[in-house]
Structure 1
């Protein structure tokens, strides 16, 4: 399978990656079928001006080569997106872990405060009961 893409140095160069949409001349691209013995019925892209004038200074690209280019472009984009998703997942997991640590520390601190308050309350209650018991013993005794 051979690939052919021609342009002249005197004409501006257009990106020829993937499926072309326009020729350097601004004309839209059309598909045609090859009639040569070597590439019988093989489809190619070319603008109508180039087709009518048989000039080689316009875009020419085999359809199958263009589709392979397009698949490679999509594969590269897919790979970049997959890498970005992986980085995003890692970033989210780090944030979740740090948030879990923060919440656990906050909960632990609040629990300590509640325990200390309960200990103080029970201690006060016991002191009060002890005073009442002491007074009762003094009165009885």
Structure 2
């Protein structure tokens, strides 16, 4: 595929990238077919004014080159979006891991507090039982002593 998007007129053509809708002059872009021997039937974009005024510098772009430009632009945007998504995913994973660690620490502290309370509650209960047992034993010993005298 040869590219002949340069002009031999006294004005160089404006460099374009991708598919345009309007020429610099404001005229809408139309597609035409080349009639030159070198590019027979090859399609190109041009405004109607440029077709009538060949000496003026208006937008000119081969359609196949414009479409390739568009594909390259979309590929570049796709790559940027993919990289952005990857960075976003990494940040989300990092945030989730830190939140899991925070919740684990919080749950560990709550569990320690609960175990401590249960141990204290159990100790108080055992202490009550021991106190009652000592009172009963003391009473039995007192009764025994009073009977033995």
TM (normalized to structure 2)? Answer: 0.86
Q: How many residues align?
A: 138
- The residue aligned with 2:113 is 113
**Structure 1 unaligned blocks of 5 or more:** none
Which structure 2 residues correspond to residues 4-19 of structure 1 after superposition, within 5 A?
4-6=5-7, 8=11, 16-19=16-19
Match of 1:33 in 2: 33
Is contact 1:34-1:42 (8 Å) kept? yes
Give how far 1:26 is off.
1.0
Residue aligning to 1:61: 61
Bigger Rg over Cα: 2
Partner of 1:70: 70
Matches of 1:47 and 1:115, distance apart in 2: 83
Partner-residue secondary structure (3-state), 1:54: coil
Identify the residue that residue 145 of structure 2 maps to in structure 1.
Answer: none
- TM-score, normalised by the number of residues in structure 1: 0.91
Divergent runs of 4+, >6 A: none
SS state at 1:25 partner: coil
